Structure 1
Amino acid sequence: MPTRSRLIVVAAVAAAAIALAGCSAVAPTRPVAAEGTPAAAPTNHAKPQVISIGDSIAFGKGVRPDEAWPALIAAQHGWTLTNLAVSGSGFVKPGWNGDTYRQQVDTALGLHPDYILVVATRNDRDQNPALVTSSADELLGELRNAFPRARIIGITTVWGADQPPATVATVNGIVEKAVTDIGGTFLDIGYPLAGHPELVQADGIHPNAAGERLVAKTIEDRLAPLGVTS
């Protein structure tokens, strides 16, 4: 028959084993940050984040995604790009999926950009200028309120190989005012593709890969004096 002291030792060992098993059972499956301690940022936030809001040329219709001018700009500066551009879209004109810049901005509001590229577009050239103005003012104001520290960069319409109509200049002026009114930077890149059919696709509108490179270089040439760096 076991002595009293042996019974005490056995009981103590059993209690310790139960306690260890209990700790193992309730151990969390993933680390939990201490209260008030921010979780580590995702790896892709190690680089500055840039968002592109635009049309089919910003989207890169007919070329690879990495050949579109926003991707080339991002690569030049070492930024991580989220390209929200939709073919056919504008501040007022719906794109192929029914979205305007409104939906692109709604998506952008859920991100954390350091830079925001907003391109004026040929797609708004036949829209009511008053509607384009109200939409541009509203959307640029929302972006500034949501991201007071982000650098917002507006860019004139990227046109094709022919000469643009006067209505394009109207759209450019509307977007320029909306961008500068909220403290953004507006770049007038002119029409680098005009008179160069070899730089556009068969439709005469969308740049080919070489055309996208020229657009990106023209934008870079305007950014350089402004001290925009990686």
Structure 2
Amino acid sequence: MLGFTTLDGIAFAAFVLAWIAYHLLMEGDWSQRRTLNRRMDAFRVEWMQNMLRRDNRIVDAQIIAALQNGTAFFASTSLLAIGAALAILRSAEDVMAIFNDLPLVAPPARGAWEVKTLGITLIFAHAFFKFAWAYRLFNYTTILLGSTPPVEEADTPRAQRHALKCARMATLAGRHFNRGQRAFFFAIGYLGWYVNAYAFMAATFAIFLVILNRQFGGDSHWVLDDEDGPMDFEEKKALAETEPPR
């Protein structure tokens, strides 16, 4: 139907399963203290607890503003990607003519080409909504930061609960930002479908392994696992210059 084969269906099913599996690995109960993303959640709590004891919280506001700017960049990039995908869909005849001249690429059927392009458009639309919501959540985090009790009340239960609210809001924003980035990564694997189903499966598997290594690889966890006591300048310098384990 529409020029798709059984192998195309298998490749697309593998793509969806890889996305779901990665989502469960990153955000399921099993991921607690195992993935880099979930380990950083604890540092958000520590950040907000330290924020309570700062009389001047301009630095904290600047950190959130920097996170917002990065999120806004990706949201804008998502819109550009959506526009590019729709432009390709409109110029299907010209693009298909280019693909017909490429080696190792089977000439695509018009219907299949349009469905594939609509698919990647939806992926970028999903990414845009995630980044836009993450931007809004960072804005809410700023509001919570502005309503933080004064430093004199830092040790009160009310202030501690408020710091936890700030950390949870920042964590939720980071989670939606990660979901948007996840869509970007899998969109790269999706591009393999424009070649053929085998390239689609190979690209999906490669992307899955790469982003999985980013979360479970030893280099970033090696940084977080350093919990030694106070060090002097020379010890800190030597540790910073040490190569992480491969």
TM range (shorter): under 0.3
| Structure having greater relative contact order (Cα 8 Å, sep ≥ 6) | 2
TM-score calculated relative to the size of structure 2: 0.26
The structure carrying a bigger helix percent of its residues is 2
What is the TM-score normalised by the length of structure 1?
Answer: 0.27
Structure with a larger share of its residues in strand = 1
